[in-house]
Amino acid sequence: MARTMTKGACMLCNANVSKAGMTKHLAACVAKEINPGRASDTQKATEGRIFHLIVEGRDQPQYWMHLEMPHDATLKKLDSFLRDKWLECCGHLSAFTFQNERYASHPSPDFDRRGMNATLGKVLTQGMKFYHEYDFGTTTDLVIKVVGERQGKMKGTVRLLAVNDPPLIPCGTCGKEAVHVCSECVWSSDKAWLCEECAEQHECGEDMLLPVVNSPRVGMCGYTGP
Ligand SMILES: [Zn+2]
Ligand SMILES: [Zn+2]
Ligand SMILES: [Zn+2]
Ligand SMILES: [Zn+2]
């Protein structure tokens, strides 16, 4: 996979930008947006410190997003955003891992005592990297980097700034674009990835097939997209 060549869309200006260039692009794009000429756009927003985060698949860096979240947003908000956008299939457990701490969606006295009510301002610092796991069985692992911080106004608790273009995955049999993935074969074979025609011949049957969606959870458990 051509890892460094992936591109994505800036949600602010619709530009198509390389993964490597997106952080710089967004810095300029966000700066333009907060100039006084466009202040009316953000009038109802509240002023405060805002983090710029990059989320990507831990072993699947072709899936990535840039987000902004205010300091007073909780880890829970970030968890639910990640679930909505990329992860949720059947309400599995999830957790964030920092160097020495874990914050879990379902804390328990014996294991993962901390819940996700901590605010980002308390647990994040610029330059830090931390991890998110969704589903402790068929786990989807994400890595999150804190790449920037600014003073500004923001509506709501999460703003999506940019997202990767869907990677083109070839059918493992004929090479055309795959639209289905077999949740059984995905563990063992490239033949799990199927175009429309080859899907009809696939030996595991239709029930095992999941749609190819733009998420690091593609093909896992029962994931069918947001
Ligand atoms: Zn832009
Ligand atoms: Zn599931
Ligand atoms: Zn095919
Ligand atoms: Zn199969």
Q: Average the pLDDT over 132-143 and give the result.
A: 97
Q: Considering every ligand atom, which ligand is closest to the CA of 31?
A: 1
In order of start, what are the domains of the chain with their CATH numbers? 3-164 (3.10.290), 168-226 (no CATH)
- Report the predicted TM-score, pTM, of the whole model to 2 decimal places: 0.92
pLDDT for 43 equals 53
Counting ligands in written order, the one closest to the CA of 66 is 1
Burial pattern 192-205, b for ≥16 Cβ within 10 A else e, equals: bbbbeebbeebeee
pLDDT tier for residue 40 given thresholds of 50, 70 and 90: low
- pLDDT surpassing 50 at residue 100: yes
Give the tens place of pLDDT for each residue, 42-62.
Answer: 456 778 999 999 999 999 999
Residues with CB under 5 A from ligand 4 (ion): 182, 184-185, 204
Ligand nearest to the CA of 207: 4
Mean pLDDT of 74-88: 98
Mean local confidence (pLDDT), 83-109: 95
Mean of all residue pLDDT scores within the chain: 92
Q: What CA–CA distance (Å, rounded) separates 222 from 162?
A: 26
